Chain A
Amino acid sequence: MSANIQKSKGGPDRHPVAPWMFLAPYLLYAAVFFAYPLLYAAWLSFHQTDGPTSVFVGFQGEYDNFMFIFTDPRFYKALLNTTIYAIASICIQLPIALGLAMLLNNSNSRMKGAFRLMIFSPNLVGQIFVGVMFAVIFTPFDGLFNKGLQTLIGWGIDKQWLQDPNLLLPGLIIISLWMYVGYNMIYFLAGLQSVDKQLLEAAQIDGANGWQTFLHITLPQIKPIAIFVVIMSTIGSYQLFDLPWALMKGQGFGPGDSALTIVGYLYDWGFRNGEHGAASAIGWILAAIIFVISILQLKLTRAYEVD
């Protein structure tokens, strides 16, 4: 077969450049929009800029971008907030998504499709819209949430939810639950539908209960998808920006920086301070954090191991 291909009229022997020509648009695209910005950001992270002018600052004392960031309490605040959000996303959001996916997978209801759409639909709305919407919902006196509370329990009409540093981050987590549970549920549902039914039947015949079947059959079978969802959720969580920004109506990141994320911190440096060098350094630090966490997750979940 391979000999036939090699001898064919249009085979690689005759057009050795052809595969590269097909790849060229992507390679060009990746070089211009991925590799170049990445390398330029690395170069920029050791510089300070003033309009089109830039100067190399490297590791020079107070001018050093990396040193400033690593000694800046706001960076650690942003890192802490983002990490809490990421952990909550994984520990709360994913089990709920998996649970809903299992419910829908086991259900024979005709409404299955409708429920799937209902749970997924918040994801069709962008983070900015969701942020604006919840900002309105949480408005004191006239917001839906406060009015609902007042009607139900006679309390909370004047509560300023978005002004409480202790409530803002949990609020963000709840909003993101509403947004992303459906999205992750679809992945899990796809995974559950590909679980070998013969294995499930065999387990039932062998007398395994529901929990045992889930633990020893379902979970190992959906492991690749679960790892993918965990890693994508982690990356997504560390890139959180639009939601808190819209929720606070572009007026910073909440009382006491309680909704400051790493990308928000990057935005502050790049677009409020105008320091693109420091913003690039934060970008690289963020990339390194995500890379390390992803590797750790792959190691811990033994994703590379072949059964």
Chain B
Amino acid sequence: MRNIYPFGKAPFVILIIAIISGIVFCGMRINELRKAKERPDLIMAFQAEIHEELYREAVKKFVEDKNNYIVDEKTGELRPPRIILQRVQKEVLMDWLQAAMQTGYDVPDLVELLEGTIGYFTRGRIENVGFVDLTEKLRAEELLDEKNIVTSRYSLWSSRGHIFAIPHDVHPAGLCYRVDLIKKLGIDVSQLKTWDDFVRVGQQVTGEWEETDKALGIEKGSKRYMIDFADDSTISLQILFTQRGCDFFDEQGNVAFNRPEMAELIAWFVHQTRGKNLISFPAGDGQNFYQAMNSGRQLFFLTPDWRSKQFSFDNPKQQGNLALMPMPVWSDKDGKILPHTYLSGPWGGSGLAITKHCKNQDLAWKFAKFLYTDATNEEFAYRFQKTNILPPIKRAWTAKELQEPSNFYMTMQDDNGNLLRDAEGNMTAEKLSIGKFYSSLADKSNGVAPRYVTAYTSQAETQFLNVYYAARAFYEKHEGEKDVDERMMALIKEGLAEKAAYIEKLIRHNYFLSAEKEENAAAAAKTEPAAAAKTEPSAETNGSTAETTDAAVSAADASGVY
């Protein structure tokens, strides 16, 4: 042994293991590089499980269509494109994308992003955003026109007037409730028009169930709340404040949550979730949530289109017993609807982006359009049946399948919002077309509120929640004392101002944004005199939404503010 290797047996074994593992590693790496050379024409990454089956079918159709054939680099002949779909868990997708964008290695060509995630990639100079700017492509396809698409959904995927993804969905939230419980309690849902109405009824019904009813799943003495508002995240608050016409940031990316409407909303939310007159308690998620729904703990649930499908999957025993209605709207003390409010606030969203690393950008755009905007109404209808998700393309809403009554969901109101009654005058329910229901919320200029996402949205959420938590703690401690509401309001306003200043400081800390802003301001100062001379004083607009969207894009572009 000593003659072969002078250091003894153990080091010899270690050396052999090292050599073997080295060979295996090199072999794997070579294999990887060989595979990389055989890279497909497009790799699309996404996270939603429910989309997988639909996208696989779509890819099949796309590659079979001879109009989508591409010229093979080696042979020069036309061939079907090779497209690979990669479904990755949400957090992993983000980690992968962040690392890939940073290093430029293994970047997918198309990515289906989730609501809020684009902010991470738009935190630098606009030209450094790792996604292709789709604004002009969308304009050319008339997809910035409100008559074709719900343009408010671009807000999720835009930064400084540039759009980086095509919206997949609308996700307007409505309210879901159990018909049997509402009948038992005698709640006239047609009277729940404003949030004030809702709270008034909520205060009457929040309490305990008076008797056990096994058929309804309720037990005597168990708690009953009017609604499920999550108070450990911004989910419910966000739906409510976007419906109220507020947001963390404005269209230009400026911090916008330090305003009286937001303060009023936080105070309102505190009253609904804490204190003697509360009407809400969080139902939680997963099994806890369905336990709450089935035991009558909460009566109403915020429900966007995607969640309605989830309920039917996870809680089939409520088939024919769950109904949907629009969210109440915001009004003043006289019941007059407040200006700048919407019928619904959105919850969630996905968008398809093309990365700048994509080598076949024309093919990627063609595929993205095929998937999201150019699909036939039959395809949209098929996807809707599988997911209940309302596409933002308005043409798709006319599909027969979207108009048909659902087998799962009911309504207790007619088309005019009046309560349905049977021949004997009792409250009744009939099947609801959920396609019609959700599209009716989305098909108006004040339908679905926009939601603007920046690099600092998640920080704004944290800071905003902290204001709510502070107000909640204050109210719990001082409820019943003199001027408690005034003092709480002062605390909220002070908190919002402080937290908004903190976010503004965070933004100023960002060297790239600040430098870009200064450069844009300098450029604007140079061009302003010339532009002023050219501007005709009597220029008018016709006020159409399409023009508003385009104008907003240009305005944000020029202003260079965030």
A residues with a Cβ closer than 8 A to B are 9-10, 15, 18, 22, 25, 48, 50-53, 55, 57, 62-63, 68, 73, 139-142, 157-158, 160, 162-163, 165, 248, 250-252, 255-257, 268, 271-275, 278
Contacts and interface: CB of A to CB of B under 8 A. Distances in A.
Nearest to A68: B509
Contacts of A268: 459, 462
Contact of B281 (A52, A140, A257): A140
Contacts of B103: 52
B505 interface: yes
A18 B5 CA distance: 12
Nearest to A248: B232
26 contacts: A25-B18, A48-B512, A51-B101, A52-B104, A53-B124, A53-B512, A62-B505, A63-B509, A73-B502, A139-B284, A139-B288, A140-B281, A140-B284, A141-B292, A142-B284, A142-B291, A162-B232, A251-B233, A255-B473, A256-B466, A271-B98, A272-B120, A273-B456, A273-B459, A274-B123, A274-B455
A21 to B, nearest CB: 9
A51 B130 contact: yes
Contacts of B282: 140, 160
Contact of B123 (A140, A160, A273): A273
B465 A252 contact: yes
Contacts of A273: 123, 455-456, 459, 506
Interface string B273-301: 00000000110100110011000010000
Interface in B90-136: 91, 98, 101-104, 120, 123-125, 128, 130
A103 B313 CA distance: 53
Contacts of B511: 48, 55, 57, 63
Interface of B: 2, 6-7, 11, 18, 91, 98, 101-104, 120, 123-125, 128, 130, 223, 231-233, 281-282, 284, 287-288, 291-292, 297, 455-456, 458-459, 461-462, 465-466, 469-470, 472-473, 502, 505-506, 508-512, 514
A161 to B, nearest CB: 11
A191 B351 CA distance: 59
A97 to B, nearest CB: 33
A10 B232 contact: no
Given A15-B6, A142-B291, 8 more contacts: A10-B6, A50-B512, A51-B101, A63-B509, A162-B232, A252-B233, A255-B232, A255-B465
Contacts of B223: 141, 157-158
Contacts of B98: 271, 274
Nearest to A143: B288
Given A25-B18, A48-B512, A68-B509, A141 B120 contact: no
A282 B89 CA distance: 29
A147 to B, nearest CB: 12
A15 B459 CA distance: 59
A186 B120 CA distance: 44
A55 B128 CA distance: 14
A52 B124 CA distance: 11
A50 B231 CA distance: 34
Chain B's interface: helix, strand, loop or mixed, by majority? helix
Taking each of A15, A50, A165, A250, which has the highest tally of chain B beta carbons within 10 Å of its own beta carbon?
A: A50
B103 to A, nearest CB: 7
Contacts of A52: 102-104
B455 A255 contact: no
A142 B466 CA distance: 26
Contact of A256 (B281, B470, B505, B510): B470
A299 B281 CA distance: 52
A14 to B, nearest CB: 8
Among A22, A51, A62, the most chain B Cβ lie within 10 Å of the Cβ of A51
A-B pairs, top 3 by smallest CB distance, nearest first, are A50-B124, A10-B6, A255-B469
A252 B234 CA distance: 11
Contacts of B514: 62-63
Given A62-B505, A273-B459, A163 B466 contact: no
B284 A274 contact: no
A271 B7 CA distance: 48
B262 to A, nearest CB: 18
Contacts of A18: 7
A274 B120 contact: yes
A51 B102 contact: yes
Contact of A53 (B128, B281, B456): B128
Given A51-B101, A251-B232, A165 B509 contact: no
A255 B234 CA distance: 12
Contacts of B11: 22
A51 B223 CA distance: 51
B102 A50 contact: no
A252 B462 contact: yes
A48 B284 CA distance: 39
A162 B284 CA distance: 12
A15 B2 CA distance: 14
A157 B458 CA distance: 32
A280 B179 CA distance: 55
Contacts of B502: 73
A256 B440 CA distance: 39
A256 B284 contact: no
Contacts of A51: 101-102, 124, 128, 130
A141 B297 contact: yes
Given A51-B101, A51-B130, A140-B281, A62 B509 contact: yes
A163 B231 contact: yes
A256 B469 contact: yes
Contact of B6 (A9, A63, A271): A9
Contacts of B462: 252, 257, 268
Given A50-B124, A273-B506, A10 B281 contact: no
Contacts of A73: 502
B469 A165 contact: yes
B65 to A, nearest CB: 35
Contacts of B469: 165, 255-256
A9 B130 CA distance: 61
Q: Which of B18, B458, B469 counts the most chain A CB atoms within 10 A?
A: B469
